[in-house]
Structure 1
Amino acid sequence: MVFWNKNCTFAATVPATPLLESVPRQDFVFYKGSMQYTKQAMDFDCQLHILKERGLTVENEEDALKFLHSVSYFRFANYLQPMEQSTESHQFLPNSSFTFATKLYVFDRELRSLVFTAIQDIEIAFRTRIIHYFSMEHGPFWFMDSNKFKNQDIFNSCLDNIAAEVNRSREDFIAEYYSNYTAPSFPPAWKTLEVVSFGTLSKLFCNFKDNSVKKKVAKEFKLPLYLYLENWIKCIAVLRNACAHHARIWNRRFPTMPIMPEYLPSSWVVIGNFRPNKLYHQLCCLAYLEQSIAANGNFSKRLLVLMEKNENINTRSMGFPQEWKNEPLWNM
């Protein structure tokens, strides 16, 4: 986590990562002069006392302490921040409630679980369709052929990742290959690509030269352009990482923003004047992609149920338009 205050300056030490990286990242060095951190750790009672001093209403201190024993102060602070009247003093607005913040935390946890389940369905379908169409067109070992990829550095990085992931795997079908064959050095795509990470898989797809085969995969997802799928998969990779690390997602601003076409052949949304860096637009992409997947998790319906159960949540902070429930995408 990066902190900033008025006595600190910072400078980037590395250039931005390539476009095909699944999670954009930038590292910083801080120049503080002689400034030294002197704050000490504080116990749970002290943490609760500070929140009360700042104007937070604590309905049940015993329950509040139990919560702080389970959820760290700075993780919980993300759910307190919307109730602050000042980000410098951290004083709370009138009627700010510890209970409301815990409900927001639980909502975000349930939302994250719902999103992650949908991503799992999409990831498995994406993996299946890449393996099928790429292998039918380019053979079982296409992922090892550098001539089939646009950027050699990304190709080499992917191959290194594949080697590490195959080496870690304890799947029977990987062991069976090496017990019977000595070459090539990797099992065929329908075995190898079952054990590689979603990030590696998305880079293989985006870096592949043959756009015609990428169009076939995109068509399976009811997308008219493979460029839409490339963009959406990059967005999903970032969202997936946030979910996997239990990060807050409900009001997060995402660095990789999805393309929002005005028209798509399956149920979609009316594109209004909104910025696609909020969660709502990511949810739209998940719901759309899920329409092409058999035995899916009914993401759209389950999201509606979750939102109706949490009517007090500020959906504007999530990027939801006012009449979002009337969109065709959410009424399938």
Structure 2
Amino acid sequence: MGVRYTHQAITTERQIDILKERGLLIDDVEQTIKVLDTISYFRLAGYWRNFEADHATHRFRDGCRFADIITLYSFDKQLRALLFTAIQTIEVAVRTKIIKHFALEFGAFWFMEENHATNETRFAANLAVIRKEVERSHDDFITEHFRKYNEPDLPPVWKTLEVISMGTLSKLYSNFSDATAKHAVAREFGLNHHKFLRSWLECLAVLRNCCAHHSRLSNRVFPVKPKMPERMPNTWIADFSFREQTLYPQLCCVVYWLNSITPENTFIADFKQLLIKHPSVQTRLLGFPRSWEHEPLWR
């Protein structure tokens, strides 16, 4: 049985007093007020947790400053922007490859045909979500389609898959029954088996949502972890001694994926530059192993 919540709202000044009482050093109170009036107390709380000596009392380690927390927050914000751009490239490519390989062999409306699904319940759930997502769309090619056609009740796959969410796309691919077609899409991205692409899509959907909703990436435990094959056709990692539910393996997948689409991409260089701009940020907060810079993928 829980306890009734009785705390009341407090002023920004009182928030600062609490942080001081817990041992956080604040050099400029006026500037801190401006920050807390722009970035909420509990959004920043996820970042200063790493600076606490005791999570029960929320006592800070000696010498910790509010400026250190803002530096980590700024790094995280810029990392999300960098990552979101990379995810956009991957997402568009995945949609295109699925449309290309599935539509030519299984027709324009395969996603509406139950015989192409491995699980009937998931098929029905996916189709219901697709209907809602298409109905919400205001894209010109969707509205123009419905002006002209009324049967079937959804546009063909090359239109529909452009407006469904990444999560729905992931579930649609996972539940598709033809392994050969799924393998063909996976090989487009340098993956030997569709089970890896299925896993990576599931993780990418979660990671994309984190970036889209401005959620913290540093020191985050992800609910799903990507399958990490030990051998890959293209340049990959050699050391697998990392924490599986951190950002690091997710970034490894993104980099590998991105390299298969646009080998000339600058993601690694941009990421390393971001670290140089924020020298106080520790890569261990992202789950990076000690010698990650020597990994073939990250050189």
TM-score, normalised on structure 1? 0.87
Q: Is the 8 A contact 1:301 1:330 kept in 2?
A: no
For residues 296 and 184 of structure 2, the distance between their equivalents in structure 1, rounded to whole angstroms, comes to: 25
For residues 58 and 146 of structure 2, the distance between their equivalents in structure 1, rounded to whole angstroms, comes to: 59
Which residue of structure 1 lines up, in the alignment, with residue 88 of structure 2? Answer: 120
1:274 Cα offset (Å): 2.4
Q: Is the 8 A contact 2:26 2:32 kept in 1?
A: yes
Which residue of structure 2 lines up, in the alignment, with residue 183 of structure 1? Answer: 151
1:296 Cα offset (Å): 7.2
For residues 312 and 117 of structure 1, the distance between their equivalents in structure 2, rounded to whole angstroms, comes to: 25
**2:269 aligned with 1:292, yes or no?**
no
Which residue of structure 1 lines up, in the alignment, with residue 186 of structure 2? Answer: 218
Which residue of structure 1 lines up, in the alignment, with residue 35 of structure 2? Answer: 67
Q: Is the 8 A contact 2:239 2:295 kept in 1?
A: no
- Which consecutive aligned stretches of 4+ in structure 1 deviate over 3 angstroms post-superposition? 294-297
Name the SS for the 2:54 alignment partner. Answer: coil
For residues 173 and 290 of structure 1, the distance between their equivalents in structure 2, rounded to whole angstroms, comes to: 28
Q: Which of the residues 45, 48, 55 maps onto 1:77? A: 45
Which residue of structure 1 lines up, in the alignment, with residue 129 of structure 2? Answer: 161
For residues 289 and 211 of structure 1, the distance between their equivalents in structure 2, rounded to whole angstroms, comes to: 20
1:283-305 alpha-carbon deviations (Å, 9 max, x no partner)? 00000000122487522221121
Q: Which of the residues 283, 289, 293 maps onto 1:315? A: 283
Q: Is the 8 A contact 1:290 1:296 kept in 2?
A: no
How many residue pairs get matched? Answer: 299
Which residue of structure 2 lines up, in the alignment, with residue 140 of structure 1? Answer: 108
1:158-198 alpha-carbon deviations (Å, 9 max, x no partner)? 11111111112122211222222221111111111111111
**2:13 aligned with 1:45, yes or no?**
yes
1:59 Cα offset (Å): 1.1
Gaps of 5+ in 1: 1-30
Which residue of structure 1 lines up, in the alignment, with residue 120 of structure 2? Answer: 152
Q: Is the 8 A contact 1:143 1:189 kept in 2?
A: yes
1:225 Cα offset (Å): 0.9
1:7-55 alpha-carbon deviations (Å, 9 max, x no partner)? xxxxxxxxxxxxxxxxxxxxxxxx22xx432221100000001111111
1:317 Cα offset (Å): 2.5
Q: Is the 8 A contact 2:259 2:265 kept in 1?
A: no
Change (3 A) 1:141 1:36: closer
Q: Is the 8 A contact 1:149 1:155 kept in 2?
A: yes
For residues 241 and 184 of structure 1, the distance between their equivalents in structure 2, rounded to whole angstroms, comes to: 31
Name the SS for the 1:223 alignment partner. Answer: coil
For residues 268 and 218 of structure 1, the distance between their equivalents in structure 2, rounded to whole angstroms, comes to: 16
Gaps of 5+ in 2: none
Name the SS for the 1:292 alignment partner. Answer: helix
TM-score, normalised on structure 2? 0.96
Q: Percent identity?
A: 46
Which residue of structure 2 lines up, in the alignment, with residue 103 of structure 1? Answer: 71
Which deviates further from its counterpart, 265-274 or 144-153? 265-274
1:253-310 alpha-carbon deviations (Å, 9 max, x no partner)? 1121111111111111113322311111100000000012248752222112112222
For residues 305 and 185 of structure 1, the distance between their equivalents in structure 2, rounded to whole angstroms, comes to: 49
For residues 310 and 275 of structure 1, the distance between their equivalents in structure 2, rounded to whole angstroms, comes to: 23
**2:239 aligned with 1:260, yes or no?**
no
For residues 91 and 290 of structure 1, the distance between their equivalents in structure 2, rounded to whole angstroms, comes to: 41
Which residue of structure 2 lines up, in the alignment, with residue 236 of structure 1? Answer: 204
For residues 101 and 183 of structure 2, the distance between their equivalents in structure 1, rounded to whole angstroms, comes to: 10
1:51-101 alpha-carbon deviations (Å, 9 max, x no partner)? 111111001111111000011111111111111111111111110100000
Q: Which of the residues 169, 172, 177 maps onto 2:140? A: 172
1:112 Cα offset (Å): 1.1
**2:176 aligned with 1:197, yes or no?**
no
For residues 237 and 135 of structure 1, the distance between their equivalents in structure 2, rounded to whole angstroms, comes to: 23
**2:241 aligned with 1:273, yes or no?**
yes
Name the SS for the 2:223 alignment partner. Answer: coil
Q: Which of the residues 88, 91, 94 maps onto 2:56? A: 88
Q: Tell me how large the CA RMSD over aligned residues is.
A: 1.4
For residues 256 and 241 of structure 1, the distance between their equivalents in structure 2, rounded to whole angstroms, comes to: 13
